[in-house]
Homo-oligomer: A and B are copies of this chain.
Amino acid sequence: MAAYSSYEFMRVTFPSVYVAHLEINRPLKLNAFSRPVWLEFGSVFRQLGDDSDVRVVVLSGAGDRAFTAGLDVTAANSEGPLSGEGAGDLDPARKAKALRGHIEEFQGCISQMERCEKPVVCVLHAVSLGLAIDIACCADIRLAAADARFAVKEVDIGLAADIGTLARLPKIVGSTSWVKDVCMSARDFSAEEALQVGFVSQVHEDKARTVQAALDTASRLAEKSPVAVQGTKELLNYGRENSTAAALRYTAVWNSVALQAGDVPSALMSVFSKKKPTFEKL
């Protein structure tokens, strides 16, 4: 845990073996993201990805008021891409280069969560606006507390969401009529509605119970072969993005080495012996 003690806005705890619980930890600001927050967010996921003592990550907001209220608009207004700060009398093409740089840095930090090879279980609760959806789209499994209040809020501050929601949401929820409705209208939607369209796959009574459900799921995943679980994540992401023919070939190449792990004999033996298998670190 000491390894994760230097972050200011990210709190990491280890509620059970191989399970890390990451909290966005800026509750007084409703866990809103200024630039230092998203830089830490990228770093902590890089570190969790490299840490062979971590097999599953549970992500939530700290406190009861918000998963995250999204972009810290006040900060954005006084620094960075939206403030025009330093842009002075640059022409639009030169401003665009700076803006592109800012957006890609921001995207890169959030995408680090998707690139992390371990499963990430995301607990959405209370205020879950704007960037909350970009982040949730990078998770593998999404759970919501009944009090979650969602909105793809960006249109209401005059912009199209650019940190990942529009790139990923049409691929991870089945009904594009619903996707376009919520993205273009910026209207609120509830946990119940999120469940119905398949954006989240479970809803629980309150934050505490949702976190508990996420930790239970995480513990079960952490007991499985990490070669199998991480391979499954990689291959599902590949399958979503590529043609079936390409995905079948990639799968064969990937598994041609994964099957040489010790995990298959361990798991098979445990099936026959009915004893719980243990798996080497990965």
Interface residues of A (CB under 8 A from B): 73, 77, 81-82, 90-97, 99-100, 103-104, 107, 111, 114, 119, 139-142, 154-162, 164, 166-181, 183-187, 197-201, 217, 220-221, 224-225, 227-229, 231-236, 238-245, 247-268, 271, 277, 279-282
Contact = CB atoms under 8 A, between A and B. Distances in A.
A225 B158 contact: yes
A91 B232 contact: no
Query: Taking the full assembly, how many copies of this chain does it contain?
Result: 6
B236 A179 contact: yes
Contact of A260 (B95, B160, B199): B95
Contact of A232 (B95, B155, B244, B277): B155
Given A99-B256, A177-B200, A184-B232, 6 more contacts: A73-B271, A154-B232, A159-B255, A159-B267, A166-B232, A168-B244
Contact of A229 (B184, B224, B254, B266): B184
A158 B266 contact: yes
Contact of A267 (B158, B233, B247): B158
A153 to B, nearest CB: 10
